[in-house]
A and B are shown apart, each in its own frame.
Chain A
């Protein structure tokens, strides 16, 4: 089919030439026609509601009575008089800064192990991918709560080597880490993306390097990491955003409270509490917008930093 069409390019060009303006119009028309579903959805389901909530963030709105405009008071309160805002921000940042690098490092390590052409690769890959597939379903959160219960699986295993484990999820010193472990456990999808990235690195680069006597560590630092950096970047951005938005595991593990002592009070959980627990929809909207800004800042920093570490070969 391709050959046939290629034989008549000139005729087609002649047909298209008469009116450049008309062609542009037609092109735009087609473009917007295809874009239409998203445009509709964007304005009705995303932008409209988002603007509405932006307005609400400047009001005192308890869900039941009419919103009352109060200027920037919600935002001022957040930074000056709200210890829970600070606490939840700390928990969330800690979670992001711990879980994302650990997850990516783990994913990369396993991907490198798997990449060295081995038997049974699909089986390993499948097993490693399974947990992230099961994702945030209620069943997994239930399972996690039981694993780390004081008489749960983890402590049973520890008991066999003579250690009496703490009650992981109800001890504020450990509870957040159980959620970090949950996140790292689900390292499957960045791993698969890493695997794909590793495949694209030309093998002759390694051959040349090993002829020059470069050690595996050096090869990793000089070849693998630079060539993989766009993939690392992609994973970093996606996982960071996801980590900021995490909600269900903390919600189910703490029973919605973010406890004990706010130790699992994810920012989204705090937002949810303010909105639906305390009827402060205006304040919750302000919290939501601050989250948007924070995510945007993190993403922007990631993008700006790319010129220092992300390798572009073209």
Chain B
């Protein structure tokens, strides 16, 4: 991260080492507060349930037991393994749909010229403000008439129609930053818009595609309301629904199991973050802030 060094030479302090230590101390303190709750949940999943409450704020369990994990995993009629597979399929299919559809549409908005472009763009941005409650019941009736209730289609299909304007917006911002000369040259050369999209824009847009894919995956993974309304059979449940049933069916006696399953439900998100951190942050940084 050399790019960040010397960013503000005007603010060179008089005692660089001292202030730097102070700043690190401050940051470490804030960091600690930030992740303490998560660590506490992790440690809670490893201790016997009766130790969770009643004044113990420490992170180190007096005895470590991992039994909450298998107990929780098989704690419902259907194991969490099934829920993870379900969530994974839904999230992967949704992600592919989102990236494909949003990039097509964003390409049209960012690079093509057509009648009504500004109008549609404004409308698209307008949908960002629409709370999903507005469309909930009519959408349900629609999917019902298509015989898709209690299937995964209502969760997946909309993604192939780029209904989440956020991703379009993200990509439009990025595409606009790609030098126009590139595709203009290609057009002169007789390239069709499709080829320009496929051969020039997409390969140059990997950071934003990755960002969109990662967000898409995470948001689908975390979605609670959609599955709640559309998925009814337990064997089709997502992880979030499984977790919710777990809260319903287990009492205060098995908080450690609930925590254990909560921890597991966060693992995929955490892994993605770990591996794609640089891409993700680069993606947000290069798109979100442009006008």
A20, CB-defined interface residue at 8 Å: no
Quick one: which of A8, A118, A285 contacts B189, CB cutoff 8 A?
A8
* Interchain CA distance A30-B224 in the complex, whole Å: 37
Q: Interface code B1-16, partner A: CB below 8 Å = 1, 0 otherwise?
A: 1011111111100000
With contacts A118-B24, A195-B285 taken as known, whether A203 is within 8 angstroms of B181 at the C-beta atoms is no
B144, CB-defined interface residue at 8 Å: no
Quick one: which of A30, A124, A193 contacts B289, CB cutoff 8 A?
A193
With contacts A37-B104, A199-B3 taken as known, whether A193 is within 8 angstroms of B285 at the C-beta atoms is yes
Is A185 within 8 A of B34, CB to CB?
A: yes
* Interchain CA distance A15-B190 in the complex, whole Å: 9
A50, CB-defined interface residue at 8 Å: yes
A94, CB-defined interface residue at 8 Å: no
Stretch at the interface among A80-88, A95-103, A132-140, A170-178: A132-140
B128, CB-defined interface residue at 8 Å: yes
Is A134 within 8 A of B269, CB to CB?
A: yes
Q: Among residues 113 to 164 in chain B, which have CB atoms less than 8 Å away from a CB atom of chain A?
A: 113-115, 117, 120, 123-124, 127-139, 142, 158, 160-163
Most chain B CB inside 10 Å of its own CB: which residue of A4, A139, A196, A230: A139
A74, CB-defined interface residue at 8 Å: no
Quick one: which of B24, B38, B53, B101 contacts A37, CB cutoff 8 A?
B101
Q: Among residues 190 to 207 in chain A, which have CB atoms less than 8 Å away from a CB atom of chain B?
A: 192-193, 195-200, 203, 206-207
Q: Interface code A119-161, partner B: CB below 8 Å = 1, 0 otherwise?
A: 0111011111111011111110011101101011100110110
Is A122 within 8 A of B1, CB to CB?
A: yes
* Interchain CA distance A206-B289 in the complex, whole Å: 21
Q: Among residues 1 to 44 in chain B, which have CB atoms less than 8 Å away from a CB atom of chain A?
A: 1, 3-11, 20, 23-24, 26-27, 30-31, 34-38, 40-41
Closest to A127 in B: B31
The interface residues of chain B, by DSSP majority, are classed as helix
Is B288 within 8 A of A6, CB to CB?
A: no
- For B, the interface residue count at a CB cutoff of 8 angstroms equals 104
A40, CB-defined interface residue at 8 Å: yes
Is B35 within 8 A of A45, CB to CB?
A: no
A76 surroundings in chain B (CB, below 8 A): none
A292 surroundings in chain B (CB, below 8 A): 129-131, 134
Quick one: which of A117, A247, A289 contacts B7, CB cutoff 8 A?
A117
With contacts A35-B105, A126-B277, A206-B8 taken as known, whether A138 is within 8 angstroms of B224 at the C-beta atoms is yes
A31, CB-defined interface residue at 8 Å: yes
Q: How far is the CB of A237 from chain B (nearest CB, A)?
A: 9
| Chain A residues engaging chain B, CB cutoff 8 angstroms | 2, 4-6, 8-9, 12-13, 15, 27-28, 30-32, 34-35, 37-42, 44-46, 48-50, 52-53, 56, 63, 110, 113-118, 120-122, 124-131, 133-139, 142-144, 146-147, 149, 151-153, 156-157, 159-160, 185, 189, 192-193, 195-200, 203, 206-207, 209-211, 214, 216, 219, 230-231, 234, 241, 244-245, 247-248, 268, 271-272, 275, 281, 284-285, 288-289, 291-292, 295-296, 299
Per CB-CB distance, the 3 closest pairs between chain A and chain B, nearest first, are A41-B161, A31-B114, A210-B10
